[in-house]
Amino acid sequence: MGVTKEQVESSLKSKLSPSHLEVVDVSGGCGAKFTVEIVSEQFEGKRLLERHRMVNAALSEELKDIHALSITKALTPNQWEQQQESEKSQAAV
Amino acid sequence: SFRCLSALTPELRTTLDKVVASQKVLLFMKGTAEFPQCGFSSTVVQMLKSLNVPFETIDVLENEILRQGLKEYSNWPTFPQLYIDGEFFGGCDITVEAYKSGQLQELLEKALCS
């Protein structure tokens, strides 16, 4: 039984109140493989391992059915802004 | 409601304590370094090989109890799981990030020289 993108999003939203969230179902529809890009104030002062653990914990129910979860970004709002800025300036070059 | 019994028995925990402490760089993965059975495991193997560090691998597909127990032991739900100097370092995404930033190489050098 698969998990929907909406389920993943709603669990992450309720537990980590992200300011930016992008969940992509990369399974081709079976709901077993997702990538997550998430920006949350709750990541402030936490190492990447701790941040990923927070995401995993928020998805503990869904992870029983998800086969692969790739957390491509787990940033604080500040880091996110900086990254957006630098991407913009690179694009301008 | 029904609760599953923990796969991580005290005996398995003691064994895992010894196993992770016995290696500087240890990768619990799907398949072997020569024949990885999953893209994520393969990615971590490639990174470790490219950094030219000695490492050991343990195939979690060979042992279902080990596979379930390790998830609890590491407090990490997926594989691969990389241990450096007896400590859980992360899964594939974290290792990729650390590889790109140079932190992985730094940490491995430190571990291998200690």
CB contact under 8 A, B94 and A48: yes
A1 confidence band (pLDDT: 50, 70, 90)? low
Spatial contact of B97 and B111, defined as CB atoms under 8 Å apart? no
Q: How would you class B56 by CB atoms within 10 Å of its CB: exposed for 0-12, middle for 13-18, buried for 19 or more? A: middle
Which residue has tokens 């024949």?
B35
pLDDT of B90 > 80? The answer is yes
Q: How would you class B74 by CB atoms within 10 Å of its CB: exposed for 0-12, middle for 13-18, buried for 19 or more? A: buried
pLDDT mean over B61-82: 93
Handedness of CA B15, B9, B57, B92 (dihedral sign): negative
A87 confidence band (pLDDT: 50, 70, 90)? confident
Euclidean distance between CA atoms A17 and A40, whole angstroms: 7
Nearest residue of A to residue B80 by CA position? Answer: A68
ipTM (interface predicted TM): 0.74
**A70 contacts on B by Cβ (under 8 Å):** 40, 92-93
**Residue B1: per-residue pLDDT:** 45
B61 vs A: CB within 8 A:
no
**Residue A65: per-residue pLDDT:** 85
- Highest average pLDDT, of A9-13, A69-73, B4-8, comes from A9-13
Among B33, B79, B40, B84, which Cα is nearest to B60's?
Answer: B79
pTM > 0.80: yes or no: yes
**Residue A93: per-residue pLDDT:** 64
Find the CB nearest A71 among B75, B89, B93: B93
Q: What is the pLDDT of residues B14-24, one digit of tens each?
A: 999 999 999 99
Euclidean distance between CA atoms B107 and B98, whole angstroms: 9
